[in-house]
Amino acid sequence: MPERNPNDWPIRRNPTRAVRIGTVTIGAGHPIAVQSMTATRTQDIDATVELVNRLAEAGADVVRIAVDSMKDAEAVAEIRRQTNANLAVDLQENYRLAEKVAPHVDKIRYNPGHLYHHERQKPWQEKVKYLARVAADHDCAIRIGVNCGSVDPEKAGKYPPEDRISPMLESALEHCELLDSIGFERYCVSLKDSDPHDVIEVNRRFAEKRPDVPLHLGVTEAGLPPDGIIKTRIAFEQLLSRGIGDTVRVSLTVPNDRKAEEIRAARQILADIAAGRVRSVVDYGLPGLNIISCPSCSRVENEAFVELAERVREMTAYARNHKLTIAVMGCRVNGPGETDDADLGLWCGPNYVNLKRGSEHVGAFPYDEILDRLKEELDRLIAERTESS
């Protein structure tokens, strides 16, 4: 990939520190890097290598792979032998897998909200110090990845349920302070939500307090294109125009053979912002139905999830004028928590789809029955709101 000139970006950037991720550096005025994530099974080495290389060829500066087991970690070692791409690894609940994958990757991403799942009696500070030692020993950067749907319960419990931003912000700042205190500065932060307004607000507030820390921008569960691209564009335009953001990802619900669309969409958004091709007034305020869905990734337990998201959009077209949110999540990691704020939520397992109404679990249904059950709940919800209006 040709070297990009930092001077091509016309907007003054926040004075963040430089953080190297393999052969690419983010922050300190370096070009805004574009990232994506594999959606193959990590243990399917051939398919994952093929997708990693395809994403790198499409222009991905960093490609992330999820690791959820020792077998996944072992697969990463072989994947590294077959690609020169800059690799990030996404640790789930078992943070101890870091020492197995760190020799083979360029960045470790951990979620503060997931640290409490493993070795619950151990303070989170000890776990983070361990991650920092592993990263330093193996020349890795770290991403502190804070997600609205999986915030540390201790933080979430300190604020009213409607305040989604403060727990995320407090968690990110606390982890930054700890890493700084032990002398580890090779890290960046991401604060993600499915609502572009919340993404804008939480990143703006973080950047005010820590303008030195590079930020990874993204709208999680942005959904299907083109809606997912529009939501992401809104957040990126507002933040990058303020000089906030050093690396980005566009998260789209697309099948594996279309994952490069994330890279192309990100590059197009960056080019448009640099050229001043932005909306004069950015107002997300969707007047009607809003469907959010997570990006396809290797944690998806049934690839029928992507097709289901498409079918949900088609089936619910008749309700497009009703201001409701339907969430379609592809796995057990993010699904249970990140459907809570939707009016109706689906999170997909290997054989069944869990249907929720707000935080209430309605039931688990086979893939070939879920649309009918979803329609029943949607019709009931529309009738209730129409009656009360």
Cα–Cα distance for residue pair 363/166, rounded to 1 Å: 32
Q: How much is the pLDDT for 222?
A: 80
Q: How much is the pLDDT for 286?
A: 55
CB contact at 8 A, 22 and 106: yes
Cα–Cα distance for residue pair 184/143, rounded to 1 Å: 12
The yes-or-no verdict on residue 195 having pLDDT over 80 is yes
Mean pLDDT of 156-180: 95
Cα–Cα distance for residue pair 192/204, rounded to 1 Å: 12
Q: Enumerate domains of the chain plus CATH numbers.
A: 6-274 (3.20.20.20), 290-388 (3.30.413.10)
Q: Would you report the helix, strand and coil content of the chain in percent, each value rounded to 5? A: 45, 20, 40
Q: What is the pLDDT of residues 335-385, one digit of tens each?
A: 676 677 789 999 888 899 999 998 899 999 999 999 999 999 999 999 998
The pTM for the full model equals 0.81
Which residues, other chains included, contact 355 with Cβ-Cβ below 8 Å and sequence gap of 6+? 344, 345, 346, 361, 362, 363, 364, 365, 370, 373, 374, 377
Measured over the CA atoms of residue 220, residue 223, residue 296 and residue 302, the dihedral's sign is positive
Which of 63, 55, 66, 113 lies closest to 247, judged by CA?
Answer: 63
Confidence of residue 333 (pLDDT cuts 50, 70, 90): low
Cα–Cα distance for residue pair 378/313, rounded to 1 Å: 13
The yes-or-no verdict on residue 142 having pLDDT over 90 is yes
The yes-or-no verdict on residue 262 having pLDDT over 50 is yes
* % of the chain exceeding 70 in pLDDT: 93
> Which three-class secondary structure state does DSSP give residue 24?
strand
8/271: higher pLDDT: 271
CB contact at 8 A, 235 and 221: no
Q: Average pLDDT of the chain?
A: 90
Mean pLDDT of 144-149: 92
Confidence of residue 169 (pLDDT cuts 50, 70, 90): very high
Which of 278, 231, 234 lies closest to 253, judged by CA?
Answer: 231
349/137: higher pLDDT: 137
The yes-or-no verdict on residue 282 having pLDDT over 70 is no
The yes-or-no verdict on residue 7 having pLDDT over 50 is no
Whose structure tokens read 């040709």?
2
Cα–Cα distance for residue pair 31/53, rounded to 1 Å: 21
Q: What is the DSSP letter of 32?
A: P
Q: How much is the pLDDT for 279?
A: 55
Which residues, other chains included, contact 201 with Cβ-Cβ below 8 Å and sequence gap of 6+? 165
Q: What is the pLDDT of residues 28-50, one digit of tens each?
A: 999 999 999 999 999 999 999 99
* % of the chain exceeding 90 in pLDDT: 71
333/280: higher pLDDT: 333
